[in-house]
């Protein structure tokens, strides 16, 4: 089937699980009650995607507070009690981040609960997202390794352990989120891809990397204003990624200033093309979705295209996110009729 659909990863959380419309939203419950609320929200996230015609569903990232720190919380060697302020993505914004203070080691499974819950409630293919090593080290303070690359590879090893366990849980695709790849292009070439390959080593399920221009929050939309009329970050990273062992690349296309012909630099990859804008509350029409798919198809073989959202939908309003999912499902269906 042409143009299967998926989402970048996250969906908004219901207001009974966490405070709506913000990142790092505080949980509404604790202990067993929180565990039950996360489980219920995970089942709901899967169901909403299925009903919208999403073929490769995720657990909606309902069980983690943030896409990076959800992973970090289960790692030994990190001090969460003493957070420090750090500039993120070359000082695009400041955040209070935990510190690495000792050798890193997994305390146990990180995402087993939500992966198994999602697996038990859908027959669709299941994708699971993890933060990539470069993005992790750009979101945490180092008081132990004294070397960014060394710390990135330490995280890559832990990611690999969890990714293999997720595969054993029945996950069909592991996607590493690397927004930092659009910021540190030299480092991507020097060690970023290698760290990512280490994180994906030995996986037999599908593997993907998501490289975006971020959630639709103000710090990101302001940053985009500084990038000029053409965003050419992908031009440097795509040729390197194309030679890597990672099979799929998820990128943003809808309402993006990325010159679409840059996708031609990924001949060996499946392209997850973002056809839904997450930085705008305006809901796309199926026709809008078809237009982006058509544009992508001029540079990527049709059989290599998956339709997705530009980025996660975590901070969006639920009704808007759900309407956008419906547009994605309907748009991909229409594209199949037109271009199939």
By beta-carbon proximity to Zn ion, the closer residue of 154 and 193 is: 193
Structural contact between residues 199 and 238, judged by C-beta atoms closer than 8 angstroms: no
Instruction: For residue 290, state whether it binds Zn ion (rule: CB under 5 A).
Output: no
By beta-carbon proximity to Zn ion, the closer residue of 135 and 141 is: 135
What number of chain residues touch Zn ion (CB under 5 A)? 2
By beta-carbon proximity to Zn ion, the closer residue of 212 and 253 is: 212
Q: Considering only residues 17 through 46, tell me which ones interact with Zn ion, judged by CB under 5 A.
A: none
In angstroms, give the least distance from the CB of 179 to Zn ion: 5
Of 43, 212, 262, 327, the residue at the interface with Zn ion (CB under 5 A) is 212
Q: Which stretch binds Zn ion (CB under 5 A): 34-42, 198-206, 231-239, 304-312?
A: 304-312
Residue whose C-alpha is closest to residue 174's, from 125, 135, 215 = 125
Residue whose C-alpha is closest to residue 179's, from 292, 93, 103, 111 = 93
57: which strand partners?
126
174: which strand partners?
128, 207
By beta-carbon proximity to Zn ion, the closer residue of 40 and 281 is: 281
- Residue 266 Cα distances to 128, 238, 248, 311, angstroms: 22, 6, 9, 19
Q: Which stretch binds Zn ion (CB under 5 A): 82-90, 156-164, 184-192, 305-313?
A: 305-313
Q: Which stretch binds Zn ion (CB under 5 A): 57-65, 105-113, 265-273, 306-314?
A: 306-314
**Residues, the chain:** 340
| Alpha helices per DSSP H over the chain | 31-51, 69-72, 112-120, 133-137, 148-168, 185-187, 193-200, 218-225, 233-242, 286-297, 318-339
Instruction: Please give the Cα distance from 150 to 163 (Å, whole number).
Output: 20
Q: Which stretch binds Zn ion (CB under 5 A): 21-29, 119-127, 256-264, 309-317?
A: 309-317
Q: Which stretch binds Zn ion (CB under 5 A): 133-141, 151-159, 204-212, 227-235?
A: 204-212
- Counting beta carbons within 10 angstroms of the beta carbon of residue 301, is it exposed (0 to 12), middle (13 to 18) or buried (19 or more)? exposed
By beta-carbon proximity to Zn ion, the closer residue of 212 and 246 is: 212
Q: Which stretch binds Zn ion (CB under 5 A): 76-84, 91-99, 219-227, 310-318?
A: 310-318
Across the beta sheet with 305-309, what order do the strands follow? 56-57, 125-131, 173-177, 206-211, 248-252, 270-276, 305-309
By beta-carbon proximity to Zn ion, the closer residue of 97 and 311 is: 311
Could you give the 3-state DSSP secondary structure of residue 325?
Answer: helix
- Both structure tokens of 46: 């899967």
For the packed helices 148-168 and 193-200, what is the interaxial angle rounded to 10 degrees? 30
By beta-carbon proximity to Zn ion, the closer residue of 10 and 49 is: 10
In angstroms, give the least distance from the CB of 184 to Zn ion: 16
By beta-carbon proximity to Zn ion, the closer residue of 99 and 207 is: 207
In angstroms, give the least distance from the CB of 79 to Zn ion: 27
In angstroms, give the least distance from the CB of 70 to Zn ion: 15
Of 86, 276, 311, 327, the residue at the interface with Zn ion (CB under 5 A) is 311
Q: Considering only residues 129 through 188, tell me which ones interact with Zn ion, judged by CB under 5 A.
A: none
Binding site for Zn ion (CB under 5 A): 212, 311
């Amino acid at each position: 089937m042409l143009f299967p659909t998926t989402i970048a990863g996250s969906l908004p959380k219901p207001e009974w699980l966490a405070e709506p419309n913000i990142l790092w939203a505080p949980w509404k419950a604790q202990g067993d009650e929180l565990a039950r609320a996360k489980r219920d929200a995970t089942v709901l996230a899967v169901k909403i995607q299925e009903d919208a015609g999403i073929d490769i569903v995720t657990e909606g990232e309902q069980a983690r507070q943030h896409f990076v720190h959800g992973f970090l919380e289960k790692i030994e060697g990190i001090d969460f009690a003493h957070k420090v302020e750090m500039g993120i993505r070359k000082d695009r914004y400041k955040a209070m981040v935990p510190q690495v203070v000792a050798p890193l080691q997994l305390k146990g499974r990180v995402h087993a609960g939500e992966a198994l819950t999602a697996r038990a409630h859908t027959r669709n293919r299941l994708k699971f997202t993890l933060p990539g090593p470069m993005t992790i080290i750009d979101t945490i303070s180092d008081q132990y390794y004294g070397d960014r690359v060394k710390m990135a590879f330490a995280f890559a090893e832990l990611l690999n352990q969890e990714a293999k366990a997720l595969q054993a849980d029945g996950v069909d695709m592991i996607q590493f989120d690397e927004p930092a790849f659009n910021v540190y292009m030299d480092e991507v070439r020097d060690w970023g891809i290698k760290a990512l390959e280490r994180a994906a080593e030995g996986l037999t399920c599908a593997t993907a990397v998501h490289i975006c221009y971020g959630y639709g929050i103000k710090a990101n939309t302001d940053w985009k204003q500084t990038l000029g009329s053409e965003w050419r970050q992908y031009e440097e990273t795509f040729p390197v990624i194309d030679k890597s062992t990672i099979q799929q690349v998820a990128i943003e296309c809808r309402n993006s200033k990325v010159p679409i012909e840059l996708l031609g630099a990924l001949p060996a990859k499946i392209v997850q093309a973002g056809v839904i804008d997450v930085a705008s509350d305006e809901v796309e029409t199926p026709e809008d979705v078809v237009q982006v798919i058509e544009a992508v198809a001029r540079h990527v073989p049709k059989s290599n295209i998956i339709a997705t959202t530009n980025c996660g939908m975590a901070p969006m309003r639920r009704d808007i996110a759900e309407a956008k999912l419906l547009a994605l499902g309907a748009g991909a269906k229409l594209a199949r009729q037109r271009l199939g």
